[in-house]
Chain A
Amino acid sequence: MSEMLVQTVDLQRRYKRGKVPVPALNGVSMSVQKGEILGIIGPSGSGKTTLLNLIGGLDRPSSGTVTVDGEDLGRMSDAELTEYRLRKVGFIFQFYNLIPTLTAAENVELPMALAKAPLEEQKDRALELLEAVALGAKADRMPDELSGGEQQRVAVARALVNHPAIVLGDEPTGDLDSKSAKKLMEVLKSLRKEEHATFVLVTHDPIVVAECNRVCAIRDGKITRESKIGEDGKVLDHSRFVMDALF
């Protein structure tokens, strides 16, 4: 039996648009197992980003609970949530969101610098991760000197640098061609083993879904279905699943 890392119970998040409340999440109960790559798919506006923000401690639920590693995020202060994001969470964004004035290595070091880790340690760890994402030779490049796929791999290294419990990706291949997307997934798979990392990836991309161990479909703020898993530990008939979830 695998260990539970994240659990949400009847999670709700309502936004106010003018005076009308918009339910972005409408009672989501789900869990993430340690060490898995969980896919979340769903049509635009279904609440995927909202769910990631709640798990990542960027946002607070209107009701319901999110528990990560046994801790209820709803009970944390703003400062504790910041600390939680720094130590326990890694983020990967669709548009990489690297700091344009920092080199690849410095971007990877940044979360360690924010955590005030010793300088030597920062450099060693950043290089180790850049090598793991096959960018050891480009450590001193600026982001605009790297391709989109390379930038996203730097972002993956940055997300992992503080040994987070969970890495959250919001459409990590959304801006990549299929070759770069495949390369990125290769890197994620190997990091899952080497770093014992857990990934939750919001995606529309069959290339991503193909590498997920499990996929949840979300629609109108609710989990509507969960994929079946084959003998290889991967989603069965994933293209079919994606089509069904999205349309």
Chain B
Amino acid sequence: MVQEEDLELYRSQLLDSMSERPSRSVRGPSDPIQVYVNERRVGELKGAEIEATLHVHGVDHVETVQLRTEDGQLLGGLVAPESGFRTTRVQLSADTVELCVQNTVQGGSLSAVFIPAPSFWNRAWTILANVADRWMVRRPESTMAYGVRAVVFTQALLAVAVVGLAADRVMIWIAPEHTVTSTVRTEALRTASVAEIGQLSKQLGELRAMQTKVGEALQSQEKGMTLLHQTMARLSSTQESVASSVVMVKEEMEKRQEGSESEIDRSVQIPVGRGGVDQEQFETAIHGLAADNDRLSKQIAGLEEHNRTVTAKLQMAIAHVAKAVEQSPERVVAREIDMARKHQRSPVADNRQGTQAQPFLFWVTFSEGTTQESIDQWVNEMKGHKGAINEGWQEVQILPPPVPPDLFLEQIKGEKIIKEARLNH
């Protein structure tokens, strides 16, 4: 009987914990979110203030997706369809995680995007993306699916930087097309011509392609970021500075983001943090922003200038990193040795030029009746000196001619005053 009571106690304990489940959220504001596919852990989303993405590819078939806190609480998830795709949004207080699973005959994939409680730049970006979406079919999976059997965590530093780059890019693209450049104005976007928006969407497409490329570069590594880290670690100090420049760019982006956010918070009262701000609300906010245009435009102009430098730096950094990834460390070392050799070689080359700078000697005979005077004049014109005379041959010293000796002698022979010319007596 004790046993039966024990069992009944256990059952009611389980039921209690089940019904109090939703109120037991223990996720701190910056705690990561663990992602599981088919009850197997595939990675985590850094649940901080920045948007983070986790892509999982090469699963035979996605059956379930689950999100959990560090303490194991199930936050949300979905059951994948047999084939095709399904999306769902999991609301975690003010933050959101968007899940998109897809099952095809080739296999399954998941994309999980952590969207923090909206900040200004996120909202601006959402509006831009929405406008662009009207002109192009947006299907993240089709542009991001590389179809390789590997698990890729694009959440890495680079990817974060690229997302930042996306926002930067859009700012820069819009600028040249409007005279009142430096503002994110929804009105401007709404009234923008079809051609302009078409161009914007094309550029967004290019950006996606670029993102894909970066993704592919990472993917080409067997262990993705792991290997990149490894490579980074092995590389010389030059490469280390690349890494630090990526970090620096990221920091600058964050700084800039913070700066602009606080500025806007002061000027326009944007309702933040009340569990999801809807489209209408932040459109209103952006209207207010347009009204405060003059004051802001100055600041944003500055920011944009900054964007450009940051973007340039980032592109350089990405290029460097891509190079670093391509090169095995041994090759980097080999290249450095090569460089060193070149440095050593250049003095050698100088020496050779030195030998060439020594006088060029050749022998000539003159046509009959040529006066000594015209001979001297000829030698003078060549900035040369007369040397020895031997059996009617006159030795001449000149500075090395710009053409090869043979050709030079042929040219000499063509002159009226010269009868014969040769290198040696």
**Real binding pair:** no
